[in-house]
Amino acid sequence: MCIPCRKNSPRPPSCPAILDKRCSDVRAVIEVKCSGLMRASKHTSNLAELFQAVISADVKWLTAKPEGDYWMFAEKPPHLLYVAWGYPPSRGAGVYRALATANAFVRQGWDVTVLTASREVFEYQTGTDTELEKSIDPRVNVVRVPFSWIRGEPDLSKWSRGRVASNLLWTYLRAQKDRIDFPEPVYGGWRRALISATDKIHRDKPVDLVIGTANPNVDFVPGWHLHRKARVPYVMDYRDTWHLDVYQDKRIGSPNSRSSRMERRLLAHAAEAWFVNAPIRDWHKRVYPPKSGTYEVVANAFEEEFAEKFRGMRPASRDGKTGGLVFGYLGTIYGPMPLRESLDGWRLARKQSELVGSSRLVIRGRLGHYSEPDPKVLAILDEYRDVGVSYEGPVSKTDVAAVYRTFDALLLILGRSKYVTSGKVFEYAATGLPIASLHHPETAATEVLKGRRDWYPLTEVTAENACEVFLRTADRAAAMTADDYAENQNWADHLSREKQLLPRIKHLRSLIGKGGAS
Amino acid sequence: MNSSLQVVAIIGSPTDPDQLFRSALGGDSLQEELAKASGRDVRLQVVSWSPSEKFPQGVVVGTAAGTEAMDRVLSRIGAVRLQGVLQKYPAGRLLNSLGPLDQSRVFWRAVQKREDAVSVLRSADVLVAVDLAAVRTAWKTRQNNPSVAAYYGLASTLKVFATRFAQTTSS
């Protein structure tokens, strides 16, 4: 793009947007290149006027440096402050979106500072994925802000008698205390540290745009703070929802609660709000009609590098297998998922099919949100060990593709909700493997997979239906060819991260060039 | 000097201990991971509610449950049924967590009934409460012997080992 006139190339070697400026001297010496660089002779008689002419062009960010007989002017990259409590090495489910978004902005020429929690929080509590940390673009500046987590103290000598008496009560009381700073349990107490860090970052290098990704919703605070203080535009990225219970389809809390009022205020001034699917966006449009900005869908997606690892995949590896297939689930198991119905269906299918009877069902990922696995889920999985169900632990993000390649078919087990897409559905789609969708058809992931071949959805969530889906998926998985995989992979192209994020990045760049939202 | 450490992992819930270890560590062995993190020889023992295939020599206390007088009384007066009802509500769960049928209390009572479990806990240099139900036992044992280190969570303990115990070696 030609920077001064902001039109798409090709542009003439000299740009009218500059040449129309008032300094006749400047008129003679400035050259504009459509690469984005401007060049001006250093031997002009009026240097101040030369600079003024350049600055008054429609370019918001400029750097100037002398080079030989010329001043070289270039567009200075805009500075994005990206706020994400969960960022690598955290291995939380939402971390992939945060990682990908920050990297995408850097690749599009932005300076990116990520504001996140101190690494000890992840090391002690959520668990870490150090391999994932290596995926952070080295140009991203990561600022870690101390965060005192409610579950945070591993040393039992520091646990009070009251906490040992009832960790539940202690946690509840602590959550109430956190709410004083910001109306969000557990994370609200982080507000002050966030604001202090934000001020320092803005002082050192002025911020042009803030994106907060939630939850936790306290991540929205720096955007709001800089907007009030310096009119910096901000984007609210709703990875999850704040006041919508996506499983019950009802509002959480009163519309007049402190947190609801806060959300309304924040959305009213946001340049953009991003949602992971259209049903969630539409709910927010209805409850909080957009004022200054727009509500956009930025779906969770898969990374192009991830999809590349499946290109050319062949079923040859099956030839050497004497046993059955490997059905795989990869993801976090939490919330109201039809796990038991799925496993009962599996048990039935094993009785009805020799192929399924000799197959295995492997579960990989985390059980619950914390580093310690949810004992209830573990107990359920234990009950099905005798029918080839095994839990084989969490997987580093960098090993995810390799693990998928050990599977012959994938299980998409999700809670019923018209608002739930999940992140893994995109990865599942990218692999090209057959997918058994073990969730209610109303679940939003259905919309993502509609039209894909080798996709076997439930008509209703019962063990009998799940059994039927297992049987159909198994038959197909055993017959898949390299061409079948390739066709499915091509179909999924529209779900890549690039297709989701680039339009937003381009739009935001032009938005801040115009001075941001109100 | 490479002095060895006696580590006792405590699992208070009825969950299969092997599943818990696998979930936190993947296929890695806890003993080896602790030794790697600290640079010291580690002897690992397990005190758990349920039996473990990987630690057949561990002390299993679930079998001793219900033999305590208090457990018999609670069972007879219908407290177990009441706990089940309360568990359905947030306030009920809060009440349960303060009551005598909270799993951490039940586990602690069962441990006290077993001399071999008490002996293993007393011999420890480091106690690891693998789950929340094990915290009370680790905490109370440490109260009786403050020279013992006690931690909650496998991930946290590995992290602590890499700093605290490795430093001890070098000093």
The arithmetic mean of pLDDT across residues A22-46, rounded, is 48
**pLDDT tens for each residue of A234-261:** 999 999 899 999 888 899 999 999 999 9
| B8-17: pLDDT as tens digits | 999 999 888 8
Q: Residue A42 and residue A378: Cα distance in Å, rounded?
A: 72
Confidence of residue B113 (pLDDT cuts 50, 70, 90): confident
**Residue B24 forms part of a structural domain:** yes
- Please list every residue in chain B whose beta carbon sits closer than 8 Å to the beta carbon of residue A172: 94
Asked whether residue A356 carries a pLDDT value surpassing 90, the answer given is yes
Q: Given an 8 Å threshold on Cβ–Cβ distance, is B19 in contact with A373?
A: yes
- Half-sphere exposure for A185 (CA within 13 Å, toward CB): 8
Q: Say yes or no for a CB contact (<8 Å) between B155 and A371.
A: yes
Judged against a pLDDT cut of 70, whether residue B35 lies above it is answered with yes
Confirm whether B114 is domain-assigned: yes
- According to the model, what pLDDT value does residue A354 have? 92
Measured between CB atoms, does B163 come within 8 Å of chain A?
A: no
Q: What is the CATH number of the domain that holds B132?
A: 3.40.50
B-interface mutation test, from A118, A372, A395, most B Cβ less than 10 A away: A372
pLDDT confidence of residue A311: 87
Q: B120 is in which domain, residue-wise?
A: 5-63+103-170
Residue B85 contacts A, CB cutoff 8 Å: no
Query: Which pLDDT does position A336 carry in this prediction?
Result: 80
**Is the model more confident about B44 or about A72?**
B44
For residue A167, give the chain B residue with the closest CA. Answer: B97
Average pLDDT over residues B79-87: 81
Could you tell me if residue B33 is inside a domain?
yes
Q: What is the mean pLDDT of residues B51-61?
A: 86
Residue A74 has pLDDT above 70, yes or no: no
Say yes or no for a CB contact (<8 Å) between B22 and A391.
yes
- The lowest-confidence range among A314-318, B44-48, B166-170 is B166-170
Interface test with A, best of B8, B19, B130 (most A CBs within 10 A): B19
Which of A23-27, A421-425, B125-129 has the weakest average pLDDT? A23-27
Rounded average pLDDT over A143-166: 86
Average pLDDT of the residues in A166-177: 86
The interface predicted TM-score of the complex, written ipTM, equals 0.89
Task: Provide the pLDDT for residue A68.
Answer: 67
At A394-404, the pLDDT tens digits run: 887 778 889 99
- Measured between CB atoms, which of A156, A168, A366 is closest to B152? A156
pLDDT band at B87 (very low <50, low <70, confident <90, very high): confident
Domain assignment present for residue B71? The answer is no
How many A×B Cβ pairs under 8 Å?
Answer: 110
Lowest model confidence (mean pLDDT) among A6-20, A59-73, A422-436, B47-61: A6-20
Q: What integer is the mean pLDDT of A65-70?
A: 66
Query: Has residue B29 been placed in a domain?
Result: yes
Structural domains counted in chain B = 1
In a domain, B92, yes or no: no
In the 8-state DSSP scheme, what is residue A126? I
How much is the pLDDT for A150? 63
Average pLDDT of span A409-415:
93
Pairwise CA distance, residues B60 & B39, whole Å: 29
Q: Residue A504's pLDDT band (boundaries 50, 70, 90)?
A: very high
pLDDT of residue A104: 93
- The span from the CA of A231 to the CA of A235, in Å, is 13
Closest partner residue to B16 (CB to CB) among A153, A371, A378 is: A378
Report the pLDDT averaged over residues A276-304.
91
Residue A12 is predicted with a pLDDT of 41
Question: Which of B156, B158, B159, B160 should we substitute to test contact with A (largest number of A Cβ atoms within 10 Å)?
Answer: B156
Q: N- to C-terminal Cα distance for chain B?
A: 10
The pLDDT confidence band at residue A11, using thresholds 50, 70 and 90, is very low
- Residue B28 is encoded by which pair of tokens? 């890695």
DSSP letter string, A144-195 = EE----TT---BGGGS-HHHHH-HHHHHHHHHHHHHTTSSSTTTGGGHHHHH
HSE-CB of A157 using CA atoms within 13 angstroms: 10
Return the percentage of chain B with pLDDT > 70, whole number.
91
Is residue B50 in some structural domain?
A: yes
**Are the Cβ atoms of B151 and A154 closer than 8 angstroms?**
yes
Mean pLDDT over A407-415 rounds to 93
Instruction: Provide the terminal-to-terminal Cα distance of chain A, rounded to the nearest Å.
Output: 26
Which chain A residues are within 8 Å of B136, Cβ to Cβ?
164
For residue B112, tell me if it sits in a domain.
yes
Of A119-133, A338-352, A392-406, highest mean pLDDT? A338-352
Closest-CA distance, A284 to chain B, in angstroms, reads 28
Contact residues on chain A for B54, CB-CB shorter than 8 A: none
Span A329-348, pLDDT tens digits:
998 887 788 999 999 999 99
Instruction: Delineate the domains of chain A, giving CATH numbers in brackets.
Output: 16-75 (no CATH), 79-301+498-513 (3.40.50.2000), 313-495 (3.40.50.2000)
Residue with tokens 């100037």: A64
What pLDDT, on a 0 to 100 scale, did the predictor assign at position A421? 84
Q: How far is B22 from chain A (nearest CA, A)?
A: 6
Q: Is the pLDDT of residue B25 over 70?
A: yes
- Residue A378 has its nearest CB partner, among B20, B151, B154, at B20
A124 near A154, Cβ under 8 Å? yes
Q: Is the CB of A159 less than 8 angstroms away from the CB of B139?
A: yes
Give tens-digit pLDDT for A181-237.
899 988 898 999 999 999 999 999 999 999 999 989 999 999 999 999 999 999 999
Question: Has residue A453 got a pLDDT over 90?
Answer: yes
Closest chain A C-alpha to B72 CA, distance in angstroms: 22
